[in-house]
């Protein structure tokens, strides 16, 4: 099946949130609150102001992979006079689509966005699941 890649838009946001929650569950998170409203609020705000970007992978109309990058700033430093940092999150590939290079392609697209934004550093927090993607 052909996989297409595109930026996340408002139209896919509910599915994206569902996949983010699925990812957190697979990583072992325990649920004691409904995280959907907080995620929706975060993505609405930060997608609008450009401090969160995401690329998704589609097999037909189905989202099969996600990525996300939040942009934050700290005081400038010698390696990056803008002080901009990218925080990688939401790297997830549907079980049926793993080991096909989807995560690798999503990562390259999101890292390119971080470069364009002027990030001097990208921070990655990997789960135990990362080797399965």
Size (the chain), residues: 133
Indicate the helix (H) or strand (E) that contains 91.
Answer: strand 84-93
pLDDT of residue 128: 53
Average pLDDT in the 36-56 region?
96
% of residues, the chain, pLDDT over 90: 74
CA 54 to chain centre: 5
As a whole number of angstroms, the longest Cα–Cα distance in the chain is 45
User: What would the pLDDT profile of 9-32 be if each residue is shown by its tens digit?
Assistant: 999 999 999 999 999 988 888 888
Two tokens at 91?
């790297």
Grouping H, G, I as helix, E, B as strand and the rest as coil, residue 97 is: helix
In terms of phi and psi (left: phi > 0; alpha: psi -120 to 50; beta: otherwise), the region of 101 is left
Higher pLDDT pick, 38 / 129: 38
- The 10s digit of each residue's pLDDT in 87-132 is 998 999 999 999 999 999 999 999 999 999 999 889 987 655 444 4
Contact 112, 52 (CB under 8 A): no
C-alpha distance from residue 97 to each of 26, 31, 39, 53, 87 (Å): 16, 26, 25, 22, 24
pLDDT at 71: 95
Residues 6+ apart with CB under 8 A from 71: 50, 51, 52, 53, 84, 85, 86, 87, 114, 117, 119
């Amino acid at each position: 099946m052909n996989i297409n890649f595109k930026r996340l838009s408002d139209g896919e946001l509910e599915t994206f949130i569902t996949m983010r929650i699925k990812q957190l569950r697979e990583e072992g998170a325990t649920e004691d609150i409904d995280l959907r409203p907080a995620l929706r609020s975060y993505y609405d705000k930060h997608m609008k102001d450009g401090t969160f970007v995401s690329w998704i992978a589609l097999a037909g109309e189905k989202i099969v992979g996600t990525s996300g990058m939040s942009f934050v700033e700290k005081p400038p430093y010698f390696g990056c006079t803008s002080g901009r940092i990218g925080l990688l999150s939401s790297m997830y590939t549907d079980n049926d689509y793993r080991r096909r290079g989807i995560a690798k392609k999503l990562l390259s697209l999101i890292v390119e966005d971080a470069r364009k934004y002027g990030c001097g550093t990208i921070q990655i927090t990997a789960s135990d699941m990362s080797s399965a993607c």
